[in-house]
Amino acid sequence: MRNKSHFSLLKALWQIKFITPKGLFTWGKAIRSEGVSLMALLRFSAETYPNKKALNSEGEELTYRQLLEQAYALASHLQQKYGITEGSKVTLLCRNHTQAVLSIFAVSRLGAHLYLLNSDLSAQQLSDLSSKNKGYQLWITDSDLPFVKGRVVTTEELSTLPSTNHTALPKVARGGIISVLSGGSSGHYTEASRKPSTTAFLPPLLALLRQIGIHQQQSVYIPLPLFHGFGLATLLISLAMGKQIWLTKHFSSSETLHSIKTGEIEVLIVVPSMIPRLLQHPNASGQLASLQTIITGGDRLTLTQAHLCLKELPNTQLFNLYGTSEAGFFMLATSEELRKATTEIPIGRPIKGVACKINNPSPQGVGELWVASKWAMSSRQGKWQATGDLVYRDPQGLYYHRGRADRMVVCGGENIHLDHLEMVVEQHPLIATARAFTIDNPTLGNSIGLEIELIEKGALSEESFREWIKEKVPYSSALTQIVFKEVTLTSTGKRPSSGITH
């Protein structure tokens, strides 16, 4: 069985031309030309799939050759006009579009340190970040986003540049560091940084090949922002395999359905909360008929969301990925495992090359998940690191999420994990998404509020819900505010942070 699995994997790597003689030669040539940078990856794909469509964004299409030419032209412009060189600091503050993709490759090729910032940040948050991180040499930003102090060039201005520039770029041994600021929904940021590597992306790629078979599909739709670690990783792996990638500035369920239908897209990468918003449209299953694979990640997949997807799209495979910005993607739950789930959805099993352990487990086996992997952020490669997630492992080796260690509040002497409460609420078959938050309470100190998004508006009353939740949690009296509404999501598709409401 193992030999058969290895043969299938080698066949997949051959199919995407990674280990063919020509492919190995092309990789070597790309690295000699561009150093160990993201531009080397793009050059490999451009020489392997030159005339294949690479990117579709807001109606603009580019082939792999055109994408490389324009990324090279942008790198030359950034070097000549703005003096961006090895060691410079550049921030990218924009939504998903062609210029965002070009900027990522151009800055990496120059050896500069690239910071990917959340486009939801307010002007005050940007000012605070700027004051804490001195030395940003250039801000690349969309013109309609908050004004920032410093040297700024807009993506609209960059889009008017000539698409080719034959000025030679200086040699670099390695591309610049790429930093993603995680924790944006809470307002407390940590920096997850990675150096370009010739091998770091291989374990996640091999998992996608071995367990998902993504090499068999040709087109990928990515509504996730590129400043999100999951979105960026999906973009890079898709480009490495020569996929046609569809990007959108904003997630719109109706526009997504239209694009998937007209483009006959085969792979959809989503945050779980997007699933019910897509499927609530009339004839959504017909518009999504071309989809062979849906991959979720970046947030918790609920039982209702998974079963709704599997019911409405029975011919589509659903996979759940789990990871962190610091450690990268390292767990995967297969479509078969998700179909078998009856009470809660597993976050998956560790992929090959990952070590996981549960630290200080309770008598019920729940504890904080720690992970070690070779493709974690630069300072933590191969080292044990805490994820902040509470998990449980069943006898079959599947892991289940039990909340965040840092989202526990005390209400009337009762310890309440807000993540766990959300998971319990989302087990209700009529509920799509829930968000729990704390409220100042003169009697209890804190009480709990809930925002609940129903699959069908008006399908559940507050009285019926309170009767149901009473049987599920011992602290239902602490739920002093329940609001039925569409839960507002950040641009990454996550629930906003659960701050205290006064």
Q: What is the pLDDT of residue 172?
A: 93
Asked if residue 480 lies in contact with residue 449, where contact means CB atoms within 8 angstroms, the answer is yes
If asked whether residues 159 and 111 sit together in one domain, one would say yes
* Interatomic CA distance for residues 339 and 215, integer angstroms: 23
Please tell me the distance from the alpha carbon of residue 141 to that of residue 155, in angstroms, as a whole number. 6
Residue ranges with strand state E in 425-491: 431-441, 445-454, 479-484
What is the H or E stretch that residue 156 is in? helix 155-158
The residue from 194, 216, 249 where one domain ends is 194
Task: Assign residue 371 the CATH number of its domain.
Answer: 3.40.50.12780
Q: In Å, how far from its chain's centre is CA 304?
A: 21
Domain of residue 50, CATH code? 3.40.50.980
Q: 140, 166, 194 — which closes off a domain? A: 194
Verify that 427 and 305 share a domain, yes or no.
no
Q: For residues 206 and 39, what is the distance between their CA atoms, to the nearest angstrom?
A: 21
Burial of 387 (0-12, 13-18, 19+ CB in 10 A): buried
Which range marks the domain in which residue 218 is found? Answer: 202-404
- Name the H helices within 120-189: 123-132, 155-158
In a shared domain, residues 394 and 457? no
Within this chain, do residues 311 and 364 fall inside the same structural domain, yes or no? yes
Residues 265 and 379 in one domain: yes
The Cβ of residue 360 has, within 10 Å, a number of other Cβ atoms equal to: 8
CA atoms within 13 A of residue 50's CA, in its CB half-sphere:
3
| Other Cβ atoms closer than 10 A to 456 | 10
Q: Are 368 and 384 in contact (CB under 8 A)?
A: no
What whole-number distance in Å separates Cα of residue 124 and Cα of residue 127?
5
CA separation, residue 83 to residues 80, 88, 274 (Å):
6, 9, 41
Q: Are residues 35 and 139 in the same domain?
A: yes
CA distance 154 to 143: 6
CATH of the domain at 442: 3.30.300.30
Name the domain count of the chain.
Answer: 3
Q: Is the dihedral of CA 208, 211, 217, 220 positive or negative?
A: negative
Last residue of a domain, one of 389, 404, 419: 404
pLDDT at 16: 82
pLDDT at 501: 45
Helix or strand run (H / E) with residue 330: strand 328-333
| Residues 6 or more apart in contact with residue 308 via CB below 8 angstroms | 275, 276, 279, 455
Q: CA-CA distance, 110 to 85, in Å (whole number)?
A: 5
Verify that 111 and 157 share a domain, yes or no: yes
Considering the domain architecture, whether residues 251 and 361 belong to the same structural domain is answered as yes
* 295, β-bridge pairs: 269, 319
Q: State the pLDDT at residue 160.
A: 92
Q: Based on the fold, state whether residues 54 and 185 are members of the same structural domain.
A: yes
Q: Under a CB-based contact definition with an 8 Å cutoff, are residues 231 and 453 in contact?
A: no
172: Cβ contacts below 8 Å, ≥ 6 apart: 34, 35, 37, 86, 109, 110, 111
B/e letters for 293-330, b = 16+ CB within 10 Å, e = fewer, are bbbbbbbbbbbbbbbbbbeebeebbbbbbbbbbbbbbb
Interatomic CA distance for residues 494 and 274, integer angstroms? 10
Q: Are residues 213 and 267 in the same domain?
A: yes
Residues 428 and 363 in one domain: no
Helix, strand, coil percentages for the chain (3-state, nearest 5): 35, 25, 40
**Tokens of residue 20, six digits:** 């063919």
Assess whether 313 and 372 both reside in one domain: yes
What residues of the chain score a pLDDT lower than 70?
1-9, 133-134, 182-190, 198-203, 375-380, 412-413, 442-444, 492-493, 497-502
22 token code pair: 């020509």
CA distance 391 to 411: 23
Nearest residue to 160 (alpha-carbon basis) of 68, 98, 218, 86: 98
Q: And the tokens for 72?
A: 């090279």
